[in-house]
Structure 1
Amino acid sequence: MAVAKNQVTLVLGPANSGKSEWAEKLAKQSNHPVTYVATAIADPNDPGWQKKLQKHASRRPTSWQTQEIPTALAEFIAQGTAQDCLLIDSLGTWVANLLVETEAEWEVTLTHFLDTLQQTSSQVILVGEETGWGVIPAYKSGRVFRDRLGNLTRQIGENAAEVYLITGGYALPLKAIGYPL
């Protein structure tokens, strides 16, 4: 389940760290048509969430296409071409959307997703949240989310061409300064 190194970039960080802004900068530099893939499901009853979604949308160039893909990421990525840059924001929301899956179902989804990343000819920029840096979730669903997302980002990061950690207003190139485990 290795991810194709030449096509995949992973951008990680905590909430409100600038992950999406850095990923958007990378997408602009790609010189390819960009499709912004939103995994979030808009909730008109949540004004705070709506405001965040609008803030993200306002930063995107009008030439970018936007697709809302809350669960079928692998299927969408499989349709991409070598001329495409797919900016997927975010892995955490995608994992949350799939928490209803059993462990067996999740393993199938995960394997399919990682295999699709390996096979794509598109440039793919993935935004993911770092969770579990201290607090152990009190509820089982929170622990499942933390474990699934952590495992997913680790598997992508091991094989991605670039991995960035965004924190304190800086993008740290982890592949350049870090050591693989």
Structure 2
Amino acid sequence: MGKTILITGPARSGKSEWAETLAIQSGKTVIYVATATTIPDDAEWQERIQQHQNRRPQDWVTLEVPTTLSATLADTKPSSCVLVDSLGTWVANLLEEDEVSWANTVAEFLVTVQLVAADMLFVAEETGWGVVPAYPLGRTFRDRLGSLVRQLGAICETVYLVTGGYALNLSTIGTKLPDSANYE
């Protein structure tokens, strides 16, 4: 199994830049898995995507994978470093799945992560630090992403929190919580 690293934190904190730095440091062929898709009518969204594209080295392979993340990871070669940016967008892309389908999607993803021989870097947003969303879909998103991040963090070799322009290695300064069946 390759190295698995989770990079989490709030919006605009530097998560993606830190993940990109780690990908470059791996010395491996980098496969950038973008979970976002282009939306031509949304200029602000296009600008965000362009900012990410401009930072990436030209030799990186970029794949747009809005939903089929597990299959994409399963197809990677051990000699690569896969950077998935971001899990929050992936969760949003699958919000219409019912609870049973979502549970199956997460289970498949977590098993795949543990079987892949490539190095993997996952960027994930922290959404649960604010108010509880006033609408059901917002609460579903927040809860699904929070649970996914916790479950993934439990199996990753290293977990970073990026905030205020600093990357903190939680794996060395934190205490891992006991495994929990419900991840509340």
Query: Could you say which TM-score interval applies, normalised by the shorter chain?
Result: over 0.9
How far apart, CA to CA, are the structure 2 residues paired with 1:81 and 1:35?
A: 10
**TM value normalised by structure 1:** 0.96
Q: What percent identity do the matched residue pairs reach?
A: 54
Please state if 1:30 is matched with 2:3. Answer: no
Identify which of 67, 72, 79 aligns with 1:76.
72
In the alignment, which residue of structure 2 is the partner of 1:122?
118
Ranges in structure 1 where 5+ consecutive residues have no aligned partner: none
**TM value normalised by structure 2:** 0.95
Residue deviations 1:78-130 (CA, integer Å, cap 9, x gap):
00121011000000000000001000000110000000001000101000000
Identify which of 153, 162, 167 aligns with 2:149.
153
Quick check: 2:114–2:155 contact (8 Å CA) kept in 1?
no
Quick check: 2:70–2:108 contact (8 Å CA) kept in 1?
yes
Aligned 1:27-176 pairs, distance under 5 A? 27-176=23-172
How far apart, CA to CA, are the structure 2 residues paired with 1:172 and 1:8?
A: 16
Question: How far off its partner does 1:21 sit?
Answer: 0.2
Equivalent pairs, count: 177
SS of 1:77's equivalent in the other structure is: helix
In the alignment, which residue of structure 2 is the partner of 1:12?
8
How far apart, CA to CA, are the structure 1 residues paired with 2:12 and 2:137?
A: 23
Ranges in structure 2 where 5+ consecutive residues have no aligned partner: 178-184
How far apart, CA to CA, are the structure 2 residues paired with 1:112 and 1:106?
A: 10
How far apart, CA to CA, are the structure 2 residues paired with 1:39 and 1:18?
A: 18
Cα root mean square deviation, aligned: 0.8
In the alignment, which residue of structure 1 is the partner of 2:182?
none
In the alignment, which residue of structure 1 is the partner of 2:173?
177
Residue deviations 1:20-78 (CA, integer Å, cap 9, x gap):
00000000001110010000011111111100100000000001010000000000000
Question: How far off its partner does 1:134 sit?
Answer: 2.4
Instruction: For 1:148, give the aligned amino acid.
Output: R
